């Protein structure tokens, strides 16, 4: 089945069978490996992408179901080689250890700050409640979100 997917503002025309998850299409078909495969059971958040600005789990989403939607992956966040303020904040605050959970956290942060530019700590924790960091870097991550919020407000 011919399927048009709008990923990072680019239209990909693919021939899909119908039973592929979005995560499989992103990584295996398109080589966009920034979105990670971890638990594959919607428990860890590593596969998070944004669909029409909302954080969703690509491991439990059929690729065919998002035809016509705007999909943002971690690859689409930076522009012309310049890191997005959220990515920069994560680096500045030391919020990236092994880095495996980072793309998911960063995209959920984008969804949060787009809706609420100045979140309280409780709001940050709630927005990121679908993510696990096995390295245990949560405090740094929360600081990174706050820094990113300040930077985005400034700009």
Partner 1 sequence: MLLNPFTYHAPKTESEAAQLIANLADAKLIAGGTLAINILKSLKRNHSPTPSHVISLKKVTSIQGITLKDDKLLIGAMTKISDIIDSTIIGQYCPVLSIIGKNIATTQIKNMATIGGNITARFVWTDFQVPLVALGCDLHFLLKDDQQRIISAQDFFDQGARSQGLLTKISFKIPSKNEKFIYQRVPKRSKPDFPMFSMCFKYTVDNKRLTKTKIVMNDSCHFAKRIPSIEQNIDGLDLTSKTKTNILNKLDLSAVIGSMEDYKKTRMLLSFKDALQQMINAHDNESKY
- How far apart, in whole angstroms, are the C-alpha atoms of residue 50 and residue 62? 14
DSSP classification of residue 147? H
Question: Cβ of residue 81: shortest distance to partner 1, in angstroms?
Answer: 29
CB closer to partner 1, 45 vs 137? 45
Q: Which residues bind partner 1 (CB under 8 A)?
A: 1, 17-21, 24, 40-43, 45, 48, 51, 54-57, 59-62, 64-65, 108, 111, 126-130
- How far apart, in whole angstroms, are the C-alpha atoms of residue 101 and residue 115? 22
CB closer to partner 1, 56 vs 144? 56
Q: Nearest 5°: phi and psi at 10? A: -125, 140
Question: Cβ of residue 140: shortest distance to partner 1, in angstroms?
Answer: 20
CB closer to partner 1, 71 vs 127? 127
First CA to last CA across the chain, in angstroms?
A: 43
DSSP character string of 78-128: SBTTBPPHHHHHHHHTT--SS-SSHHHHHHHHHHHHHH-SS--HHHHHHHT
CB closer to partner 1, 92 vs 138? 138
- CB-CB contact of 48 with 130 (8 Å): yes
Question: Cβ of residue 56: shortest distance to partner 1, in angstroms?
Answer: 5
Question: Cβ of residue 82: shortest distance to partner 1, in angstroms?
Answer: 27
């Amino acid at each position: 089945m011919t399927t048009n997917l709008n990923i990072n503002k680019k239209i990909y025309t693919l021939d899909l069978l119908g039973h592929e998850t979005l995560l499989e299409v992103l990584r295996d078909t398109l080589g966009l490996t920034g979105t990670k495969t971890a638990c594959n059971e919607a428990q860890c958040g590593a596969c998070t992408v944004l669909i029409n600005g909302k954080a969703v789990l690509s491991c439990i989403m059929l690729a065919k179901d998002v035809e016509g939607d705007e999909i943002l992956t971690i690859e689409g966040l930076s522009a012309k080689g310049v890191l997005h303020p959220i990515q920069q904040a994560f680096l500045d605050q030391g919020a990236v250890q092994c880095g495996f959970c980072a793309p998911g956290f960063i995209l959920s942060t984008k969804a949060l700050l787009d809706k609420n530019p100045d979140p309280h700590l409780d709001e940050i924790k709630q927005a990121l409640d679908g993510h696990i960091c096995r390295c245990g870097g949560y405090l740094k991550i929360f600081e990174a979100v706050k820094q990113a919020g300040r930077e985005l407000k400034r700009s």
